[in-house]
Amino acid sequence: MEISEISCELLQARVKYLDRRLEIEREKLNEHKARHASMLCNDNCDEEAILMHGHAGFQAEKKASFMLFLVKAVEQVQFIAVEVDYVRRWLTPCPCQKCAYYRSPEGKTSSKDLDKEWDTLTSTDTPSPIATWIDQSWRIA
């Protein structure tokens, strides 16, 4: 599978699957710890069996830790994929005629007209309604 074929839905499904597998591994590990504690309290258990059981628990703990690391890595990849998709959608040029004109060489030469319009829109002679409302709300408080 190539990277371009990976979709956000596929990553979400993988994260859900790994989360469920991690829950199962944690449940097994908790049961294993309970059995190990009962083996330690039992005088009839051989020390070799307790040692092997502890080693198996250590291996299960390593497996659960690795799965947790894998889940976090896939979540980060999913986050990055969503961000890349978001940026890609916003960086595609607008197909309308007005935007195409302003991207053309003729539109770039008329950008001075746009600057004049922008200056009139952003002039500070008349305050915006939002600035007036904020100023009034501070006076009330």
Burial of 130 (0-12, 13-18, 19+ CB in 10 A): exposed
**pLDDT, tens only, 41-97:** 888 888 888 889 889 888 988 988 888 888 888 888 878 877 777 777 777 777 777
Q: What is the pTM of this model?
A: 0.50
- Asked if residues 27 and 19 have their Cβ atoms less than 8 Å apart, the reply is no
Q: Is the pLDDT of residue 134 over 70?
A: no
- Encoding tokens for residue 100? 């195409």
Mean pLDDT of the chain: 75
Buried-exposed string 109-125: b where 16+ CB fall within 10 A, e elsewhere: eeeeeeeeeeeeeeeee
Percent of the chain with pLDDT over 90: 3
Cα(47)–Cα(41) distance, integer angstroms: 12
pLDDT at 1: 46
Secondary structure letter of residue 94 according to DSSP: P
- Asked if residues 56 and 32 have their Cβ atoms less than 8 Å apart, the reply is yes
